[in-house]
Structure 1
């Protein structure tokens, strides 16, 4: 069960003019709770003018060794980029300092890689480097028979997050780490010409760089347009959907899917959470998460936008319609999982299990 704990900020490292890395101290008694897989994220929360605000940020530090070989992390590091109008990102960049305490949820997310031999690749844009930095650092350190190709897109070199950390990986693993950088708004002295990485350009680039049929896993992370274009490029190159893993950081509004399924006049949701269950009426227009939160404030959630996947639940019975889904893989929805924040009842009775 995901839970919040207060963690002390050990250090605030300014990466660019609009981004920082926050290092969080994890006390000994909580290190097992904050053990994470490479690629997972943390949800941070604070109260602003009486309203609770939650935001999700990916862990960029390498994952600790699996138990019982090693203890959980002593420090967790997350990357935060300023978002226009973003209440939490503005707070992180302008107000948080070393010694402050932040409420932090235990790690979550399924955009992960269990280190194993083989060739892996990623296409990232902007702050999408954050979880992939944890993935590639952990993989290369733990698995001597692994290689990784990183294709990253940024606006300019000055706006590139974790520039030094990625350069250090290139120095440490020159034969196992391949780095390709594309800047959309700045010409480079060497390397690829500037410009946006669209589907057509990615198709040619990937084909030229890699033996596509030998890549064991692809990791796509960043803005929706880049991730969508990269997925289409990979599918055009014959890559199986099961080898493509994606996490989207930014989605424009107006992407909800119109539903032709009529909503029932009255409906209830039964939810199991942390071993306890309850049944409650769904008010008109509410998502199932909103109904559960009215009665169980400890229900897990972060973005409420269908992006982070924190509110994933198993649909035990009944039917729902989801407004949008940018977090669950096709195999997860086929197995019966839904995003509670985007789900509305399509039958009079719906049952969810948050514990599965």
Structure 2
């Protein structure tokens, strides 16, 4: 069960004009709780003007060795979002020694190190989880290779430049880096411009043997991830080899036609070994119903992006407005995002523990 703990900020590093990394110190007694798989994220929480503000940020540091102790530090990357309540606070106010509420690691955009060729297409801050994935894979699996295709606006806006360059220096034969700048010409390399579906469909086969890639990791804004996914599908890549994490959905599609929710419904939710049943108010998501009665229900973004509120639909039917977090295999197995789910039957049962 995910839980918040207060962790002190050990380091704040300015990465670009609009991004920073935050490093948290993890005390020995909590290191097992903060053991993470490469690619997972942390949810940070603060109270602002009486409102509980939560935001999710990917861990960029390598995952700890399974045979060793949990991590002594955790590092995340934060990019400023226009009007962002938490990102503005992170860039302008957070300092070393400040204590933040940090949820234990979560997320399924992950890779357990294994032999083979792996690849990623990332945009902007989408580099954050992939940096952890690539660094962990290359350090632990001597026969693995990784190809990183990254898109940024300009060189000055590129996060984790030094860390990616260090990977290239340490693993010159096993780490391939391809950089595309959308608003700035490079002296060498690919021409500037956006990485859309058409360009990726031409570029990817020229860079690596697409059919031999064991796993693709797509992360960043919705448009880039969707374009990359469609390009891979056109190239015949099986969907089980493609993993996605969306960071921004402003440009995403509108929700599907709304199916009216049931007029009088109840939700039964199992959470941390305890279950309860409550009526669902009109227009309310199942997550909001549970939160009115169990403040410890897990959530972060409430936008269908982070997957923190993932739960198994045990009985009943729901309408899920948006889903940018669950893989097709998860939805087929019955998992839903509670923050996006509305009841279509009089009784609905969710299990947050499975």
Task: Say if 2:180 is the partner of 1:182.
Answer: yes
**Structure 1, unaligned stretches of length 5 or more?**
none
Shift of 1:254: 7.4
Shift of 1:256: 4.3
Shift of 1:258: 3.2
Counterparts of 2:260 and 2:192, CA distance in 1: 48
**Structure 2, unaligned stretches of length 5 or more?**
none
RMSD: 0.8
Quick one: which of 332, 335, 338 aligns to 1:334? 332
Tell whether the 8 Å contact from 2:223 to 2:251 is kept in structure 1 after alignment: no
Tell whether the 8 Å contact from 2:223 to 2:252 is kept in structure 1 after alignment: no
Look up the SS of the partner of 1:11 in the other structure: strand
Task: Say if 2:90 is the partner of 1:92.
Answer: yes
Shift of 1:107: 0.1
Shift of 1:59: 0.0
Counterparts of 1:64 and 1:85, CA distance in 2: 35
Counterparts of 1:198 and 1:315, CA distance in 2: 36
Task: Say if 2:48 is the partner of 1:48.
Answer: yes
Q: What number of residue pairs does the alignment pair up? A: 354
Task: Say if 2:137 is the partner of 1:135.
Answer: no
Counterparts of 2:253 and 2:139, CA distance in 1: 39
Other-structure match for 1:117: 115
Quick one: which of 264, 287, 294 aligns to 1:296? 294
Counterparts of 1:229 and 1:51, CA distance in 2: 36
Shift of 1:252: 1.0
Counterparts of 1:125 and 1:7, CA distance in 2: 29
Relative to the length of structure 2, the TM-score reads 0.99
Other-structure match for 2:222: 224
Tell whether the 8 Å contact from 1:155 to 1:184 is kept in structure 2 after alignment: yes
Other-structure match for 1:354: 352
Other-structure match for 1:57: 57
Tell whether the 8 Å contact from 1:21 to 1:80 is kept in structure 2 after alignment: yes
Quick one: which of 132, 152, 155 aligns to 1:154? 152
Task: Say if 2:201 is the partner of 1:191.
Answer: no
Shift of 1:105: 0.1
